[in-house]
């Protein structure tokens, strides 16, 4: 594997691990304010991000690359309510989309078609991630993040399994 691709894939792998850690922190915060449905939603998101990291981990190894795990930076632990937390989720997912797009460009420039193929899955995943978070955020804003609507959305978030 091209060393620049290997380095970029390792960077993304570590970014995905940071994302998992961030969503686990968000889950803890939401539990602390008794929004256990949204806490569940974030736990599922945590698991998805770990799966994304492992997909990159396995790919690097399958291409005879070296996995380089880096320390995970400290994540935020407090937010100003559920709207704020989902605004941060959307901003974070948009950052991940940019990172994935840059990685695709690197793979295209290196003419690494196998990596481009792998990354198309991530490109599609990011479209889904952003759309899902945008929908939740829009609903939260409609109810101003409070009242009985908040509890209905929290109950709905509790049913997320994947």
Q: How far apart are CA 149 and CA 95, in angstroms?
A: 29
Range of the structural domain that residue 7 is part of: 3-158
pTM value > 0.85: yes
**CATH code, domain carrying 25:** 1.20.1260.10
Q: What's the pLDDT tens digit per position in 103-128?
A: 999 999 999 999 999 999 999 999 99
Q: What is the CB neighbour count within 10 angstroms for residue 70?
A: 12
- If one counts the domains in the chain, the total is 1
| Assigned token pair, 59 | 């790919």
Computed on alpha carbons and rounded to an integer, the radius of gyration of the chain in Å comes to 17
């Amino acid at each position: 594997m091209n060393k620049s691709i290997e380095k970029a894939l390792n960077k993304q792998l570590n970014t995905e691990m940071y994302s998992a850690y961030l969503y686990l922190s968000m889950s803890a915060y939401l539990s602390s304010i008794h929004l256990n449905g949204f806490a569940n939603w974030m736990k599922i998101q945590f698991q998805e991000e770990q799966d994304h990291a492992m997909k990159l981990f396995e790919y690097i190894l399958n291409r005879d690359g070296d996995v380089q795990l880096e320390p995970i930076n400290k994540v935020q632990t407090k937010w100003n309510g559920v709207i704020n937390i989902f605004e941060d989720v959307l901003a974070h997912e948009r950052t991940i989309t940019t990172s994935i797009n840059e990685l695709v460009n690197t793979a295209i420039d290196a003419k690494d078609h196998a990596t481009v193929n792998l990354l198309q899955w991530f490109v599609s995943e990011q479209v889904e991630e952003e759309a899902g978070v945008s929908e939740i955020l829009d609903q939260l804003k409609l109810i101003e993040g409070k009242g009985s609507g908040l509890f209905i959305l929290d109950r709905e978030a509790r049913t997320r399994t994947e």
